Structure 1
């Protein structure tokens, strides 16, 4: 009996000191109005211009997490703050179950969500089975000698866009991965280095700017988009610009990597990034209690998937590898590929046949997944030393496709991300009859471009005002005829009235005082109201 009691005491003691991961959600953002009135304190001008071009308003999710809340949580007994998210108004914490639950006594804490769902007070579905961990590494103006990469580019008709000199110029791609060793030294990336196309990056696990470090996976991924070795490897977006973010810790599998992922996506948004590529997926964690099941693949449960969907609402395209578990006993797509608005990319071979390792759909709630496919079997990539080799995995199908997204968007930059996604899907060979293995199939980017340029509704569907904030002038781009532009101050007084006579029209606001103004655009078919800031 004494031995039994001793074992019981040891068990209770162990569980009381075991470290848990959890997300702590806050009730509000007290300084939101100040930030929203000064958007450049939250977002770069390029990010604001991207929002303006797509008629996306700023909202509470753009406001940073209230720092005093983070400070108070971080100084609480036994708590370590691992990451934060302004979009989800939360912090990722680590501590004992008791110490984390004690945070509920703080008045500004709304709720706590443990990574181990069994510890949550809310009711959850029992986990039926676990998805197994997978190997994540797995008129002519320009003519490129693609060498071994010709098949992966030509399969998407990417070479036809390259021949028209659409190569991703003017677009920024953010790569979220496990590390980028050798990118600063290997020959296939020297074009990017020489032309200052790598704009920066961050190492989230180590909390430093040493992003040419940690691992080789991101190096090979980047080569699919930005690599350039004549006659051997040409990426799908060789003239795009890039931010490199390390969010993955290959030494362990823990939900904090999802929080790093969302942090990186938020930084990408603030910097004005156009396309996110992430060849990462989360299914099973080192602590089995944290792992997902297929029933969790519903687009609303996983932290990273919710963050990925918010990223899309900010005007970015989010391209994610589907996963490499297709020939396992649990073959379905994982996090964040299962998110509603991302493009989840499956893998095919050189003949466009389904690659058996590529994770399949649908999502648990029945949505088509993967969305589209690209070459992921025997894809031509670069190593950290600059050797050109082949590798297999949806990890490579995703950047091949993501580079083409940027290249396509560079050809029709006035499209919204919603339109970009739709034109790509509609160009795919299985669009009318998607399958669980290939989704809508392999896109044809020349067809997508033709459709975009020839679409009868390829107009600016709603008026666009930019820049916002404005300094000396406001530019209105619209298809409105016989309309009026009205501008009111915060007292409701009319300070400017103009007749809309052109598709692109400038309004001088240089003499207006700094502050918030409200506009109204009216015509026989339009009545639009909004807010603009004069600096």
Structure 2
């Protein structure tokens, strides 16, 4: 009998004194108006300009946490503060269940939510809007001369943007990942270093400024956007600027990583970042299985990270997230924050545009189309930490490949809002009218997106290219008529058609698959180029 009592006592002790992760939410920000009246106290001028350009007003979420509340939580018995969020007016804390539950007695505490959802059923804890978290790190195997990286750009017709000098200049991308070793030394990142395109960053895991530490995953991710090695690798946004934030703990899987991500996103917002790329996903496989999510949590509003990502979008930022690499697993659905309504979730395809088997599928639990779009994620061309150009698999790479192209498109349309740019990307995709749970809206065509509203700066665009049925020649409305002649690769004339500004389309259905050349003449306009018939 004594042995039985000892075992029971041990079990009780284990429950009472084990460390738990939780969020404590505050019910107010007493000094919020002071900051809203003086926005430069909390935001950079660039961040304010981004808001102004998109008619986004500052609100309660922009004000910092009440410092007296934070200090009182820090001073509470057995409580360690792991991360903070002004957007969600919350702290991520760690302590015993008893010590955490005791915080509900504080007048300024709105609620406490445990990462272990089963603990939220206890009377001490308010559990509506549950926020338990779990994370699935998206690990991956190991007139530019694009080299071997050509396909991942040309698949999206991204070279159309690059040829018109839309290469991401003037846009800022924040990369949230495991770390960035080698970015400060490897050759493919030399152009970024020489041109001061690495604007800074922070290691939220170790709480220091050395963001070049940590895992190598972030290095490879960055290379698909900002890498440059002639005839080998050209990123999709080689002239964009970057902030690098380490939010992922490489050694283990814990809910705090989501809170670190949100904290970094808030910093990115304050710095005036335009786009956040995250090749991280949270679903299962936490070290403590009690912290794992289920498919029902993938509704865009349950997980801490997805709620943070949605707030980031409300601030005028575009958030691009990898869909996940669980397509071959029993649970195949996308993770968080890819499930968020406004996040552009990117799945993976092969070089021949077939969905990669590992690419996570949709829909979101509440039935929305996910992933949103697709890009190359099988045999994607990347740089490793030593500067070697290699290939690797994962939506970890289809996501940033897409994010870089979005930066280029936004450079072309700087007056557009983040919602308008998001719409342009999705509406240009090849399955826009017939989306499904495997491909979402399909593979975007940035050549088409460039000409969605009007011809940019009255320039000249040919899209889609490659084409299957029709090609559109987009040119100035001042040109009424033009003549298009198509030649075979041997110089033989195979088509000779008239087009107009009102009907600039040319059918190429009669052509065999292959490479052709065109000449367009009309009203002082003379253009030549290459088209590919698929």
* TM-score, normalised by the number of residues in structure 1: 0.82
State the alpha-carbon separation in 1 of the partners of residues 107 and 303 from structure 2. Answer: 26
Deviation at 1:452, TM superposition (A): 3.0
Task: Map 1:78-117 to 2 at 5 A.
Answer: 78-117=78-117
Task: Map 1:205-224 to 2 at 5 A.
Answer: 205-224=205-224
Match of 1:19 in 2: 19
Match of 1:453 in 2: 454
Match of 1:290 in 2: 291
Asked if the contact 2:21–2:95 (Cα under 8 Å) also holds between the matched residues in 1, the reply is yes
SS at match of 2:331: coil
State the alpha-carbon separation in 1 of the partners of residues 317 and 453 from structure 2. Answer: 18
State the alpha-carbon separation in 1 of the partners of residues 138 and 280 from structure 2. Answer: 10
Over residues 269-311 of structure 1, what are the superposed CA-to-partner deviations in whole Å (9 max), with x where a residue is unaligned? 0000000000000112111111000011011110000000000
State the alpha-carbon separation in 1 of the partners of residues 33 and 264 from structure 2. Answer: 24
Match of 2:140 in 1: 137
Over residues 16-61 of structure 1, what are the superposed CA-to-partner deviations in whole Å (9 max), with x where a residue is unaligned? 1100000000010010110001000010000000000000000000
Deviation at 1:137, TM superposition (A): 2.6
Match of 1:500 in 2: none
Match of 2:119 in 1: 119
State the alpha-carbon separation in 1 of the partners of residues 353 and 373 from structure 2. Answer: 12
| Cα root mean square deviation, aligned | 1.7
Over residues 432-478 of structure 1, what are the superposed CA-to-partner deviations in whole Å (9 max), with x where a residue is unaligned? 011111100000001001003259xxxxxxxxxxxxxxxxxxxxxxx
Over residues 216-270 of structure 1, what are the superposed CA-to-partner deviations in whole Å (9 max), with x where a residue is unaligned? 0000000000000000000000000000000000101000000000001000000
Deviation at 1:136, TM superposition (A): 2.4
State the alpha-carbon separation in 2 of the partners of residues 125 and 192 from structure 1. Answer: 42
Deviation at 1:4, TM superposition (A): 1.0
SS at match of 1:452: coil
State the alpha-carbon separation in 2 of the partners of residues 36 and 427 from structure 1. Answer: 38
Runs in 1 of length 4+ with deviation above 4 angstroms?
122-126, 130-135
State the alpha-carbon separation in 1 of the partners of residues 257 and 184 from structure 2. Answer: 25
Over residues 173-226 of structure 1, what are the superposed CA-to-partner deviations in whole Å (9 max), with x where a residue is unaligned? 000000000000000000000000000000001000000011100000000000
Asked if the contact 1:63–1:86 (Cα under 8 Å) also holds between the matched residues in 2, the reply is yes
Aligned length: 449
Asked if the contact 1:344–1:372 (Cα under 8 Å) also holds between the matched residues in 2, the reply is yes
> Does residue 434 of structure 2 align to residue 429 of structure 1?
no
Deviation at 1:132, TM superposition (A): 9.4
Over residues 84-117 of structure 1, what are the superposed CA-to-partner deviations in whole Å (9 max), with x where a residue is unaligned? 0000000000000000011111110000010011
Task: Map 1:403-414 to 2 at 5 A.
Answer: 403-414=404-415
State the alpha-carbon separation in 1 of the partners of residues 45 and 138 from structure 2. Answer: 39
Task: Map 1:92-491 to 2 at 5 A.
Answer: 92-121=92-121, 133=136, 135-138=138-141, 143-284=143-284, 285-453=286-454
Judged with a 3 Å threshold, the aligned counterparts in structure 2 of structure 1 residues 72 and 132 are, in CA distance, closer, same or farther, namely closer
SS at match of 2:254: coil
Task: Map 1:23-34 to 2 at 5 A.
Answer: 23-34=23-34
Unaligned runs of 5+ in 2: 457-534
SS at match of 2:51: helix
Asked if the contact 2:138–2:281 (Cα under 8 Å) also holds between the matched residues in 1, the reply is no
Match of 1:523 in 2: none
Judged with a 3 Å threshold, the aligned counterparts in structure 2 of structure 1 residues 61 and 133 are, in CA distance, closer, same or farther, namely closer
Match of 1:53 in 2: 53
Deviation at 1:68, TM superposition (A): 1.0
Asked if the contact 1:117–1:124 (Cα under 8 Å) also holds between the matched residues in 2, the reply is no
Asked if the contact 1:305–1:337 (Cα under 8 Å) also holds between the matched residues in 2, the reply is yes
Asked if the contact 1:134–1:325 (Cα under 8 Å) also holds between the matched residues in 2, the reply is no
